[in-house]
Amino acid sequence: MNDLQTRPQAQAPVAGPVAQPRRKSLAREYIEAIVIAVLLAMVIRQFAVQAFTIPSGSMMDTLLIGDYILVNKFLYGSEIPFTDRHLPGLRAPEHGDIIVFKYPADESRDFIKRIIAVGGDTVQVRDNRVWLNGSLLDEPYVRPGSFHATPSTHCGYFYACEPLRVPPGSYFVMGDNRDNSQDSRYWGFVKRPKIRGKAFLIYWSWDGERHWLRWRRLGHYLP
């Protein structure tokens, strides 16, 4: 009779205590969330949408003092930081667009006006009325009372009293409140690299004199 040897069964290794992943402290989680939010806000502000406040009445009644607006920066091509160059945009600025741009006489300031003429156009302004390429321009957005009933024989503008051709890559801009607007009639053209973007929405509006919110203006879209 053959004896059968039985082999001892292998013992399963004994698992030691599993190291638990170290949890971040609540303070660190909050700090990381804030940093990420700030970075995202900076990227959006630089390349997508930026908020501005209307400080003057030059665009009345389209925009009022105390309106807070959003400006689309990627439509024309976002600015590349610290340069006058832009990324490729969806389209070029067009007639009637309300734009924010660097004021030519002081680029630390931002102005907002409406594009009246683009490169290649011929523009003439008399008594606040615009002749574009030889035809009187229909401007329903101009503030009532801006057009003078009695034609004047004197033109006090520095530009466009006589037909003026807009150079390529430049824009002739004016405020909708023609009697209270420092615009291309007085300091010339806006060059394409100086345009920050197109205003498209009033997201808040505060009447500082009467201390109330203008509810009807909230969410108003600017074509």
Strands 49-53, 212-213: parallel, antiparallel or unpaired by DSSP?
Answer: unpaired
Active-site residue list: 58, 113
> In what helix (H) or strand (E) does residue 135 lie, and over which residues does it extend?
strand 135-136
Task: Name 133's Cβ contacts closer than 8 Å, sequence gap at least 6.
Answer: 121, 122
Residue linked to tokens 């741009």:
101
CB 158 within 8 A of CB 104: no
Q: What is the spatial distance between Cα 67 and Cα 55, in angstroms, rounded to a whole number?
A: 8
Tell me the DSSP string of 183-202.
-HHHH-PEEGGGEEEEEEEE
Q: What is the spatial distance between Cα 46 and Cα 81, in angstroms, rounded to a whole number?
A: 8
